[in-house]
Structure 1
Amino acid sequence: MRGNMGNMNKMMKQMQKMQKDMVKAQEELQEMTFDATAGGGMVKVTANGKKEILDVEINEDVVDPDDIEMLQDLIIAATNEVLTKIEEITNEKMGKFTQGMNLPGGMF
């Protein structure tokens, strides 16, 4: 019986350490910034790890009052790209904590 308690205590300490490491990794991700461009760099979107858009830069050469749709498409493309980057990095960093745990999608 004593051996089981020792194993249980060891497992609890490992879980507590993993939880602390997860929180630290999540905080680091939220502090990071990510950039993506579209149209050969004509539009640049910057976001943080919380998926908040921080900045949108538009090269004046792409601003054409007769073709607003192209500019809108470039902004959408750059925004989607930066959000995809954040998702990929988040999965990469957080995946090491959830491997083999069979948690429902998105839970970590």
Structure 2
Amino acid sequence: MFKGLGGLGDMTKMLSAAKEMQSKMAQLQEEMDNMTVTGEAGAGMVKATANAKGKVKALDIAPSIFSAQDKEVVEDLILAAISNAQDKAQAKAAEEMQKMAAEMGLPADMKLPF
């Protein structure tokens, strides 16, 4: 009478796993707000700190590079430091997503969030 219902247990299992993944993704997104990376340019004279989502949170500039004639150089260094921090943030986010995928038994090359 209930022969065709054997797959419902698997479906329930899948839905449960999907809810767990959704919960873990939300938690990871929250944690990435607090993870920080620092990008540097000009041998550390300009540093940009960003969270793992890539939002720049702080900028540190060595006072020795301030002079009117070096304005363009300083601007370039600031952009390079921010770019470096954003690249590191992307790498950190990908690393954390891979860890979560591995914990859930998903394939290592699976891209999250879908």
Bin for the TM-score computed over the shorter chain: 0.7 to 0.9
Letter in 2 for 1:26: Q
Q: Which runs of 5+ in 1 are unaligned?
A: none
Q: Which runs of 5+ in 2 are unaligned?
A: none
List structure 1 segments (4+ residues) > 3 angstroms apart after TM superposition: 95-100
* More displaced stretch, 73-82 vs 42-51: 42-51
Q: TM-score, normalised by structure 2?
A: 0.79
CA distance in 2, matches of 1:69, 1:44: 17
Structure showing greater radius of gyration is 2
Partner of 1:5: 8
Question: Percent identity between the aligned chains?
Answer: 33
Q: TM-score, normalised by structure 1?
A: 0.83
How far the C-alpha of 1:36 sits from its partner, in A, is 1.1
Correspondence 1:81 to 2:62 = no
Partner of 1:55: 58
Partner of 1:39: 42
Say what the alpha-carbon RMSD is for the aligned residues.
2.3
- Aligned residue pairs, count: 106
CA distance in 2, matches of 1:99, 1:44: 36
Q: 1:18 aligns with which of 10, 18, 21?
A: 21
